[in-house]
Amino acid sequence: MLDKRLSYLSFTTMLNSEPSRRQFLAFLAASPLLAAAGFDADALTHAAHATTRNSDHALRLAQRIVEHGASADGVIQSAKEALSVFDFEPVAKQNIPVSHWGYLATGTDDDGTIQANREGFDRWALHPRRLIDVSKVDASVSLYGTRYPTPIVINPVGSQKAFHPLGEIAVARAAKARDHLQVLSTVATTSIEDAIAARGGPVWFQLYHQSDWAITRQIVQRAERAGAPAVVFTVDLIGGSNRETMMREARRDTRTCTNCHLGGAPLPGISGRVDDRDNRRKPNLVGYPHVTPIPEVGTPSWEFIDRLKSATRMKVLIKGIVTREDAELAVAHGVDGLFVSNHGGRAENSMRATIASLPEVLQGVAGKIPVICDGGFRRGTDIFKAMALGATAVGIGRPYIWGLGAFGQEGVETVLALLRKEFEVVMKQSGVTSIAGITRNHIVAR
């Protein structure tokens, strides 16, 4: 077992040279305890002979192993044992088929932007205040007239039945139990109607456009009829993405899954065509009447936003905006809100954290519309920093899916509860009792 007493200083000193780091990565990869703790030995083996940049990425994983100890005893057996959202990750990895795990874990290229999202929070330190009465804290936020007790939004993640048999239904029930805003993916394995029924209230609908506007319009109108108050158009994947980790993990999965996947290869989330054969587990993409096609000419531009707004009475938000220029254009086109997002590091490999993009997007909107930030949120301190910079709310993805894959609805509820508890502790330590009280003065640049 690795010695938990190994300090960060000795760790970095030991790995100061390239030969030493390669040797240490090879040592870690050979440890039989890695799998029990939920770490990927194959990734470390690859990194031991990879480029310096990939090696550095794996070293951050190695540091985490050293800090927490690669011991099977550290894997929780029930949701109530979890001390942080990270405790759910190794359990979920044990439970989820390898190709499905690859779909969840992947970024793009070498996954560098996933790590950049996490490291972005390190640019800011807290600036606590003392001797303020914080016995009562109100962490609620209002979005388009609906008040939620927390700014934590359950972001859209596709194919959730790849992680648990109940998928989005379990998540919707957890959202109901904890009263969170939930956003359902176009490529969910649950229909918008069933998600709203399980949530017992409105669920926002995330939109991927189709190559035929006539079909896209029907999808949007269906979501509106079901009771969704908002549609969230995702724009950061229009150019595609190079998901190497997903493809590598899929090669390790030898199952034949013809019941779910055309051709049998277990690759969740790769379809998206409106085809009853390809989308047997994508109910939001099937069942539409055949109408005269209206093929898209090229990929969507700002004209598409105008068309989308004219096709629905729902609030229209854009997900994937990361620059001031695009934020200004969104406001000019009458968009009702933005998600500052790089798809959790799954879109472009920009190596730029969303928390770093947030300030300039806020400059672009100039307070005219809500701005939700997602990407790498794992701690209450992360949430607080985004709110201090001016975010209206924050979105989470992988953490609640870890909870789902580990313990189903109970796991999701516990992830939400832990993040809310951590966030409210930070509010109290910072001397604020409401969201409105969180300002830029509560954080400082490191």
What does the block give as tokens for 286? 């099937």
Q: Which residue has the tokens 């007790």?
A: 149
| Cα–Cα distances in angstroms (integers) from residue 412 to residues 84, 162, 187, 228, 379, in the given order | 12, 15, 20, 22, 15
The catalytically annotated residue of 209, 261, 343, 442 is 343
Helix (H, G, I), strand (E, B) or coil at 234: strand
Those residues with Cβ within 8 angstroms of residue 20's Cβ, 6 or more apart along the chain or in another chain: 14
| Cα–Cα distances in angstroms (integers) from residue 312 to residues 96, 219, 315, 321, in the given order | 38, 11, 8, 21
Those residues with Cβ within 8 angstroms of residue 327's Cβ, 6 or more apart along the chain or in another chain: 321, 338, 360, 361, 362, 363, 364, 365
Instruction: Judge contact between 431 and 132, C-beta under 8 A.
Output: yes
Q: Spell out the alpha helix ranges (H) of 350-397.
A: 354-365, 380-389
The Cα–Cα gap between 266 and 166 comes to: 18
Those residues with Cβ within 8 angstroms of residue 91's Cβ, 6 or more apart along the chain or in another chain: 38, 75, 76, 402, 405, 406, 407
Q: What share of the chain is helix, strand, coil (3-state, %, to 5)?
A: 50, 10, 40
Helix (H, G, I), strand (E, B) or coil at 444: strand
| Cα–Cα distances in angstroms (integers) from residue 325 to residues 231, 340, 341, 362, in the given order | 22, 13, 15, 11
343 is catalytic: yes
Question: Closest Cα partner for 198 from 174, 172, 179?
Answer: 172
* Secondary element (H or E) of residue 54: helix 52-68
What does the block give as tokens for 127? 């600036």
The Cα–Cα gap between 297 and 417 comes to: 45
Tell me the torsion sign for CA atoms 360, 366, 367, 372. Answer: negative
What does the block give as tokens for 57? 């990425």
Residues with catalytic annotation? Answer: 343
